[in-house]
A and B are shown apart, each in its own frame.
Chain A
């Protein structure tokens, strides 16, 4: 893997817009959902699934695939859009979000959705399951990667730091953790509830190769992953400075944008604004 060309960057930016549009449509079929935390990880998902990850949408259980553990499982709809656009299942299926009998529930479920690698929803647990996968793959001598996405509010869970301690000591070079540092959780701003302090210093203190980048800058996300992969003797974490609700004009910049109710006009407006931008 090499540095991205400007065409690559544009392609991934377009992919991110497609993911955002599909996610907004998906939420629109219901009229409510966890919109803020879904929108903030879209650029990361675009880089991972559009460029970095070694996957086969026709064969979601391929043993040598790269894995994604969406520890902040409530952002499932953003992942579903990405998977549908990659061809794991049809775009029409996105309309079934949370409907009776659906394969697309609010929180990511490995037994229901093709391409979802791990079941999450109770926050704090994905770091451990992801580390377990990375360790298992290493035992099997595989060269695939495990990507784990954590929330910042989620990082208040003790289990995250149990994982950080274990992962730091286990030196799992095949594991890259992302923290979606959008500064917001359900009840408002992380800094007003239970602040994380110097997150970079904390992860470094746990022995991780730590980077901090703009989580909406395609080129920066990509090059940070390249750097993390170049590190052979440590587990890696990339802290993504992000904006909760990014790219959704009625959610971005609002304190209570974690779980919102909206009407079709708002969704249409947000989609139009997104397409105009690109």
Chain B
């Protein structure tokens, strides 16, 4: 199976296992989702360096903080909703405030929770962890990127939230592409508008750019995979060069990527902005394709919102 055809969780565990062979500090914790997250394989590879704590996420985060105090680099795993909001105070105080390099890996983010439904749909996870000082927030987009950035994730000084789709992702990058945490990537050049996307929405954004091209609009597409610290330079430059921005995320448009980009624009270079994503609603149950339609997150929706931002740009400039 080629890299692009594999589930992200398998690539994740394989890469983490390769790193763990060389780096004894790496440990894995999971809270009764080892078979869902793939960490069961890590446990097989390193029986003494992985633990299933059971269903107790807050305790897991606290244990990870303590492990980090002894020089380990613990990776905690459960669904993104439970690895953030279910243990938020522990993440805030025991991990971040106390300055421990815990790596929090949240799987099935946003609408990827699909059949688990609204109770499990983390549409606020990026927002809540982004508000914690020192936290790095990363949403890898495909297997090439995941494999390439994981070594750097191990070495970051502070805590990290890794927002991980565990299924097979749409391939975006060629093997061998280089990435640097904190730096976005221009996936497609364009002069009329910039679409800034993250996670599973990047492939939709690229499709939207194709649709827009047919209508004579040249859209730049940027993948912001580090939501914090966000790439201020690239966003400001894109605002200056294209004059309008659309953000696209699998998250509430409040507090996530859309808010982060709005902050940058407000601080440095205001231009018209449209934010595609969940419009401050709770999630619901269903297949991912249905949910994309339901929450107006398809390529067609992105293209329509881009046309709206272009109309605002014309009005203003």
Contacts and interface: CB of A to CB of B under 8 A. Distances in A.
In this complex, which of A73, A101, A187 has the most chain B Cβ atoms within 10 angstroms of its Cβ? A187
Nearest to B59: A158
Given A107-B119, A122-B81, A187-B32, A98 B56 contact: no
B296 to A, nearest CB: 15
A157 interface: yes
Contacts of A190: 54
Contacts of B287: 100
The 9 closest A-B pairs by CB, nearest first: A121-B119, A194-B54, A156-B54, A105-B285, A105-B117, A100-B290, A156-B55, A100-B286, A107-B119
Interface string A181-224: 00001110010011000000000000000000000000000000
A28 interface: no
Nearest to A159: B58
Given A107-B117, A193-B52, A98 B286 contact: yes
Nearest to B34: A187
A187 B35 CA distance: 6
Interface of A: 30, 32, 73, 98-102, 105-107, 109, 119-124, 153-154, 156-158, 185-187, 190, 193-194, 256
A119 B283 CA distance: 14
A57 B86 CA distance: 34
21 contacts: A32-B115, A99-B286, A100-B286, A100-B290, A102-B285, A105-B118, A105-B285, A106-B285, A109-B119, A121-B116, A121-B117, A122-B81, A124-B55, A156-B53, A156-B54, A157-B56, A185-B55, A187-B33, A187-B34, A190-B54, A193-B52
A194 B53 CA distance: 6
Given A158-B59, A193-B52, 15 more contacts: A30-B115, A100-B287, A101-B286, A105-B285, A107-B120, A109-B117, A109-B118, A109-B119, A123-B55, A154-B55, A185-B55, A187-B30, A190-B54, A193-B54, A194-B53
Interface string B113-138: 00111111000000000000000000
B65 to A, nearest CB: 15
A152 B290 CA distance: 34
Contacts of A186: 32-33, 35-36, 55
Contacts of A119: 119
Interface residues of B, number: 29
Tell me the dominant secondary structure on chain A's binding face. loop
B307 interface: no
B272 to A, nearest CB: 33
A93 to B, nearest CB: 14
Contacts of A153: 32, 54-55
Interface string B56-87: 10110000000000000000000001100010
A107 B116 contact: yes
Contacts of A100: 286-287, 290, 294
Contacts of A32: 115
Contacts of A101: 286
